[in-house]
Structure formats: structure tokens, C-alpha cells
Structure 1
Amino acid sequence: MSFGRLITAMVTPFNEQLQIDWEATARLIDYLIEEQKSDSLVISGTTGESPTLSDEEKVALFRFSVKHAAGRAKIIAGTGSNETAHSVQLTKQAELAGVDGILLVAPYYNKPSQEGIYQHFRTIAEATTLPVILYNVPSRTVVSLSSETTLRLAQIPNIVATKECASLSQMIEIVSGAPEGFVLYSGDDAVTLPTLSVGGYGIISVASHLIGAKMKELISAYLEGRVQDAIAINAECYPIFNGLFNCPHPVPNPVAVKYALSRRGVPVGGVRLPLVPATDAEANFLNNLLDA
């Protein structure tokens, strides 16, 4: 199954009581598919504040998103955690909810060995018939999924892709050794173009909430051989790529993108503790960025 080149890691809209806002969720799904040209949506990934969502909320989001997207985009459920048995159960619930695929983050905090990481992902993948995307994000998980372990996992039939937030050199090692049908997505908007240039397939994006249609142009330009056009579009997009995570200092995701969406007329509410809303200084920086 193809999830397309542009996947948005969707924020979870909240109301004033910080409960899921279902009307806002429906509007956001429509906006991301119709205006920002997302091929697929990740529901309840870390951008969706998965650490602060209950399993009941996650499963309700999976069901709602499948029903509302109605085939217009693939729905990928974030069901990874640092407890293998828990991830297995949540993955089974996501499959029953009708999602199209699973995103599994590397097990954080426990600091497992590469063999432990391999067995974790293998156990979850073997508990579902759904296609699985691995997610390596060392800055958040402390552990890093090595290229060797990634390629070992790629031999499992329903592990079809990886979302990679390590180095370009690791991306090259994965792409060059991957079996046919296994693809690599960047998890960092700022290296979308370099990822494509080394054989990556696409991007699982945060910035696509705001400039998805422009990112689709960037990808198309590169794939069509219009490299200078792709470089120019990338330069145009870069302030957003960088500003959503540094406004003007490092800010935890999805604080900035939630503020920016609301400023753009797509209200998605605040963030749950331990995250806090954008400060005045951060808001001013984002206002200037968006106005520019």
C-alpha cells in the first residue's frame, strides 16, 4: 500500500477544556486533504500529543478520522509506546477501527539494546495485518534505531517504511540496502529535499499544516527533474520549516504549529500539560513569520 509522498502528522484539536474538539477535527481533516494536499494523515503521533491522550481518546480519534476522511486520504494510527504489550493491544484496536496503517515510534526511556528494539517492532508487526512504518527520532527517544536494525526489520513483510530523523548518512545506508517496496520518509521538514536527493520517498511533516500544497510542488519539481525549481521552492519554505521549531529559540512541537493554525483561521485550541501555550515573544515571532 502506498501512503503517498506527503503525509501530515496531524495535531489533535482541543476545546477550551482541552478535550477533543470533534467539529474542529473534522474541519482540520478537510483542510489538510483539500487545501494542503496531504496524501495521508498520522493520527495520534507525537505531533498529535499522543503522550497526553488516553487509549480511549486515541481509538475514538482513529474511528472518527477513518469515517470522516472517507477514503480521501489514508489514515495512519500512532500506536507506538515503550511497552510492547501495550502497543500490541492499541495496534489491534486501531486495526479494528479501520485505519490503513500503523506508525510505531522507537521505544523511549527504557533504552533497550538493538536486539530489544528489533524484538519490540517485530512483536507488534506480527500482531497485525496492517502495513507498519517505523519511526526513529533519537532526540525524543534517547535510543536510535540503527540502519542495520532498520534493514533487518525491513525483511518483515508488513514493515513497509521508516520515518527517519537521524543523519543523511544513515538515510543513505537504509535506502541503499532496503528491499524492494520498503521506503524511507524524512521526519524533518528541513531536509525534505536532501532526503529526496539520496533516494528517500517523501516526508512525514509538521509544516504541511501550513504549506503542504507548496511542499507538494517541491516534491513534484524534484521528481520531474526540475531541480532548480525544487531548490527555489525549498528556500521559500525554509523559514517555516525552521520557525515552527525555533521561534526564535527551540519550542516543543506542536506548540508553534497549533498557534500558527489558529492564526491562519484554522482553530485547533491549546496544548495539554506539560506543554504550555506560546509565550508573547514566541507568538510575535510567529506572527511576523506568517505575515512574511
Structure 2
Amino acid sequence: MPRSHLACAMVTPFTRNGGLDLPGTQHLAAALVDEGGCDGLVVGGTTGESPTTSDAEKTAVVQAVAEAVGGRARIVAGVGSNDTRHAIALAHAAEKAGAHELLVVTPYYSRPPQEAVEAHFRMVADAVGIPLMLYDIPVRTGVALSYDTLCRLAEHPRVTGVKDCAYDLMKSARTMAATGLAYHSGCDELNLPLRAIGAAGCVSTVANVAAREVRGVLDAYDAGDPDEAARRHLALTPLIDAMMSRLPGTVTAKALLGTLGRPGGPVRPPLFEADATVEAGLADAYASATCSTSPLPAQPVG
């Protein structure tokens, strides 16, 4: 069994005045890869505050992360837009800046029918020379990718993966059984369940602060110890709940990064920073999760 792929849905660090913190971005990227065990970083996605970063900022972050860790981790650039022309322009820029793969979200707000959604992804895939990971997150976009659409898109040579935030295990299982798409859990509470039915790995927001613990769940499963994997997953669940259930993961991840003295900085409006009560609860959940689990030895790839 190939080793699970752990990608962090990385925050975009900002300075205290709200500008890009590119040195901090590179420092965080290196820590996630070299200390956290991440073999991929997703930049410019939901957790990376894509709605409030400019096109130039998105490209600068891709370039900075690629320069820092592009030789030892897979860089996936979020290039989603509800405007197909805009998504293609972002895709070209990300490819040129050093991205290895693109994360393309289902077009939002306009609520296009499935035929239009499929055409959107095909047009982006046709415009670039690197693979696409489809981002299925209907709670944010208002449009889910259907099983039939996923199967048709899987026939495109550059559509190779899915970040799955659809909360539809039947659709995920059917699609994995019918296609060669590399599924990645996009919801930390489903990392182990989806891996158990064939997912390639996960794109984790919690990994911003607890990458080794997320890695430990997957490594235990890969080592053939589902009981240990389940124990580790359940030990991590309170932190997942604290980070993902009440506030956006961007807010909670940046709050914890600040507590830990790591690059993150503020969030941009309309998001608000976590208050002191929330920060204290997050710190307690983090301490509990990281004390109750420890990293496993690295598993061989192959």
C-alpha cells in the first residue's frame, strides 16, 4: 500500500498590518514539511484566505512556497473562481510560479448546472500542463459535483484528484470504485474513514498546528494497525472539533499558530480574530491532542 499523502491546507501568513508575510510563509512551509511530515502543501485555498487575497498575492505565495520547499513537497495552488476566464488566468500564473498541481473549486454563486460545471473544469484542464485536483465543497459553493460528472471528468488526462468536502461517503466510495481519481479527505474528521475505503490521503487544516499528529493517524493505518489508527484519530478529534466546528478553520489555525509563536498573523475582514476565550479553549484542545499521541516512525514509501 502506498504511503498516505498528507497535504496541509496552509494558512497565508500576514504581517500585523495585514500585508503578505512572505518570509513567514516560507518559514511555516519549511516547518510543515521538515518537522510536520507533510509531503504536500495546498496554498491559496479556503484556509489560505483565497477570497481576500489578490491575484498578485496568490502568485507571490505560490512562488515563495515553491522556492522554499518545492524540491521536497508537492505544491498545490488554489486557482478557483466563479469566472472560468479568471480561473484559467490564475492557473497559468500558478503553473509559471512553480505549482505542481492546481486545486480548482466548483464555480460558486452562479449555481451552474452540471454540464456547465464539467465544461468549466475541462477548460481549465485544457489550458495548463499540470494536474488538477477537483474541489467538491457544496456547503460553500452551493453546487456539488455529481457522481456522473466526476466519472466523466476522470477521463481527462489532467484531472487526477479530488479534495472531498462533500460529506457524501456513498458518492465518494462509488467514485473511487469507478475511477482512478486520487481522493483526499478535505474534512479532518473524515481523514481516517476515507483512507479506510481507499482515499489517497488528506488535505488537512488541522495540520497547520498538528501535522505530526495527523501524520500519525495515517501512518498507523498504513502500518496495518487500524486499532492504533483509530485511537490516534479519536485522540485528535477534540482538537478537530475545536478548530472546525464553530469558527472557520482559518481563524482557529491562525489563533493557535500565534499561541505557538509561529507565523500566521491576523485574518482579513470579513473574518474576525478569535477572542481570548476561544484561544484558551483551542490551546487546551491542542495540549490534550499533542500530549496523547506521539509520532510513529516514518513508513517506507512503496
**Do the structures match in fold with TM over 0.5?**
yes
- Looking at structure 2, the residues matched to 3 and 96 of structure 1 have their Cα atoms a distance apart, in angstroms, of 29
2:156 is aligned with 1:156: yes
Amino acid at match of 1:256: T
Name the residue aligned to 2:190.
191
Instruction: Verify the 8 A CA contact 2:6 2:202 in the aligned structure 1.
Output: yes
Instruction: Verify the 8 A CA contact 2:43 2:61 in the aligned structure 1.
Output: yes
Name the residue aligned to 2:222.
223
Amino acid at match of 2:46: T
Give how far 1:268 is off. 1.0
Amino acid at match of 1:113: P
Identical aligned residues as a percent: 35
SS in 2 for 1:241: helix
- Looking at structure 2, the residues matched to 21 and 213 of structure 1 have their Cα atoms a distance apart, in angstroms, of 24
SS in 1 for 2:135: strand
- Looking at structure 1, the residues matched to 69 and 140 of structure 2 have their Cα atoms a distance apart, in angstroms, of 29
- Looking at structure 2, the residues matched to 223 and 286 of structure 1 have their Cα atoms a distance apart, in angstroms, of 29
Amino acid at match of 1:81: S
Structure 2 gaps of 5+ residues are 289-302
2:172 is aligned with 1:176: no
Name the residue aligned to 2:300.
none
- Looking at structure 2, the residues matched to 63 and 4 of structure 1 have their Cα atoms a distance apart, in angstroms, of 26
SS in 1 for 2:144: coil
Q: TM-score, normalised by structure 1?
A: 0.95
Give how far 1:287 is off. 2.4
Name the residue aligned to 1:212.
211
2:24 is aligned with 1:28: no
2:263 is aligned with 1:267: yes
SS in 2 for 1:148: helix
Structure 1 gaps of 5+ residues are none
Amino acid at match of 1:138: P
When structure 1 is superposed on structure 2, of 213-222 and 4-13 the one drifting more is: 213-222
Q: TM-score, normalised by structure 2?
A: 0.92
Instruction: Verify the 8 A CA contact 1:4 1:40 in the aligned structure 2.
Output: no
Match of 2:282 among 281, 286, 289: 286
Matches within 5 A, 1:5-24: 5-24=5-24
Instruction: Verify the 8 A CA contact 2:62 2:99 in the aligned structure 1.
Output: yes
Instruction: Verify the 8 A CA contact 1:3 1:39 in the aligned structure 2.
Output: no
Instruction: Verify the 8 A CA contact 1:171 1:198 in the aligned structure 2.
Output: no
Instruction: Render the CA deviation track for 1:91-124: whole Å, top value 9, x for unaligned.
Output: 0111111211100011110101011110000000
Give how far 1:15 is off. 0.5
- Looking at structure 2, the residues matched to 281 and 214 of structure 1 have their Cα atoms a distance apart, in angstroms, of 24
SS in 1 for 2:41: strand
Alignment root-mean-square deviation, CA: 1.4
Amino acid at match of 2:208: H
Matches within 5 A, 1:39-50: 39-50=39-50
Give how far 1:270 is off. 0.6
Which 4+ residue blocks in structure 1 deviate beyond 2 angstroms?
Answer: none
